[in-house]
Amino acid sequence: MWFYMIAAFLVLVGIVGGVASGGIFTIIFIPLGFIMLAVAVLTGMWGRSRQASAGGETHGSKAGPMPLRHTRPQGTPAPSTPEDLADARRVQQ
């Protein structure tokens, strides 16, 4: 990813410098920026192909929701109202 940032910076400096003063900016920075951009693209393609050949996923995936249970839960359900909760505490005392 940092290759892209360096390449974009070099191309930008080359274009601005080429327009402003020409000379060394046009001769050095424009080709250097394009070389860095090509390296960044090729490195990204190579990394993605290695990931796919190693059995990794090429796209992120989200886990689906948990499946519903086919059996009823064991025990009694928890009290759902304050009155039921108070009654359950009185029974425990």
Q: What are 33-89's pLDDT values in tens digits?
A: 788 888 888 888 888 888 777 765 556 666 677 777 777 667 777 777 888 888 888
> Please, which residues have CB within 8 angstroms of residue 14's CB and are 6 or more apart in sequence?
25, 26, 28, 29, 30, 32, 33
User: Taking the CB of residue 14, how many other CB atoms lie within 10 A of it?
Assistant: 21
For 31-45, how does the pLDDT look when each residue is reduced to its tens digit (9 = 90+)? 887 888 888 888 888
Quick check: 5 and 35 in contact, CB under 8 A?
no
Q: pTM of the full predicted structure?
A: 0.42
Single-letter amino acid code for the residue at 39: V
